[in-house]
Amino acid sequence: MNLLVKVLVATGSTVSIGFGVWHFFVPGWWDWYSYIDRSATELVLAIRAINAFFSLALVLFGVVNVLLVCGSRSNRYSIVVVLAATCILWTTRIVFQLVYPQGSANPVLQYGMLAAFTVVFFCYAISLFSVASGKAAA
């Protein structure tokens, strides 16, 4: 892999891992469950499970991308598949931020999140294009 792809994937992965780790703590920090009726225990469990799964997925995608791009034993096909899946994940996050924006009480937060999600997407998308087109060799 060329240096540009390694730097872009490392950058996108660092942010992905950071978002994933941060999200493990969000429910407690933002007191998510205080907004839910105490008798809705199944809903609390469902939100907890979804958040844990989402957080772990971000961390794992970030780690797997770095291992594949920086490792010496991966092949182009595996890198393209994982980068494509990661691009789909971040595209979905961008669409949700546009359609159902989070942080809308503060425009700096709302558009800052959109900018961060877009930067991460482009880190992976440029890398995907480079690897898929064969320009990332060497």
Indicate whether 27 belongs to any domain.
yes
Note down the domain range covering 73: 3-132
Indicate whether 51 belongs to any domain.
yes
pLDDT at 18: 97
pLDDT digits (tens, 9 = 90+) for 56-78: 999 999 999 999 999 999 999 99
> CA 138, CA 121: separation in Å to the nearest integer?
24
Total of domains in the chain: 1
> CA 94, CA 103: separation in Å to the nearest integer?
13
The model's confidence at residue 138, banded by pLDDT at 50, 70 and 90, is low
What six digits make up the tokens of 21?
């780790």
Indicate whether 137 belongs to any domain.
no
pLDDT digits (tens, 9 = 90+) for 5-53: 999 999 999 999 999 999 999 888 988 888 889 899 999 999 999 999 9
Contact predicate 43/36, CB 8 Å = yes
Indicate whether 138 belongs to any domain.
no
